[in-house]
Amino acid sequence: MPYHIRAERVSDRVIVVGDPGRARLISSILEDARLVNENRGLLTYNGFWRGRELTVATHGMGGAGATIVFEELIQLGGRVLVRYGTTGGIREDVEPGDFVVPVSAFYHPGGLFKQYFGDLCVSPAPDLELTWRLSESLRGRGLRVWAAPVVSSDAFYAETPEIVKRWSEFGAVSVEMECASLFAVSRLRGVRSSSVLLVNGNILYPGKRMISEGELEDRLLAGARIILDVLAELK
């Protein structure tokens, strides 16, 4: 049994989220949801959506800690992992309430990438088919979607307008913390992964944020239902 997620098993299809409160929120719309881990606050639920068993798991904040969770979920049976979280826009036209489906994740060298891959320069990218399905399903519900690179940062408070301007010049549309780790490790372990991110603010314009927690929750649930549909229908 893994050290941190003390569950006997998880579904082969998993939504991973940073916030344990978000895990509780999404599990609340599953059928027969059961809490199977609460060790270290990494709340993990098994439940059903449209007759298909799915898991919602908490990965916490930051790539290094989240990678421990990704590894353990894979050990427990996870074969398709979708990170669902929030992200900060780094382009003027990326608005709060938009969704981002990353097609790749930029990262700063060193850290866990050095430890996993040594001197190799990996290119963290999600599963193509899964990413396409998620993007098209979101657009099909009339949502505004960016299918573009994101930046996975290890230092939440280190971003400045100058730094994000450089990233955006290379095509990135938003910044978050865990996608590069997820995409790289899932490729290494031979499982599929992707991500859906809700833009809850814009770093270039600190005043541009989701209006309220209620608005954020409603938007998160709307996106969660779409992700659950895609995972339930995935062959």
Note down pLDDT in tens along the chain; length 235 residues.
788 999 999 999 999 999 999 999 999 999 999 999 999 999 999 999 999 999 999 999 999 999 999 999 999 999 999 999 999 999 999 999 999 999 999 998 889 999 999 999 999 999 999 999 999 999 999 999 999 999 999 988 887 878 888 999 999 999 999 999 999 999 999 999 999 999 999 888 877 776 567 788 999 999 999 999 999 999 8
Give the whole-angstrom CA distance, residue 13 versus residue 93. 33
User: With left for phi above 0 and alpha for psi between -120 and 50, is residue 208 left, alpha or beta?
Assistant: beta
pTM over 0.75: yes
Q: Under DSSP, is residue 206 helix (H, G, I), strand (E, B) or coil? A: strand
Bridge partners for 199 per DSSP: 87
Listed residue (124, 149, 150, 146) closest to 134, CA to CA: 146
CATH of the domain spanning 13-233, picked from 3.40.50.1580, 3.40.50.150, 1.10.540.10, 3.30.565.10: 3.40.50.1580
| Residue type at position 3 | Y
Which three-class secondary structure state does DSSP give residue 103?
strand
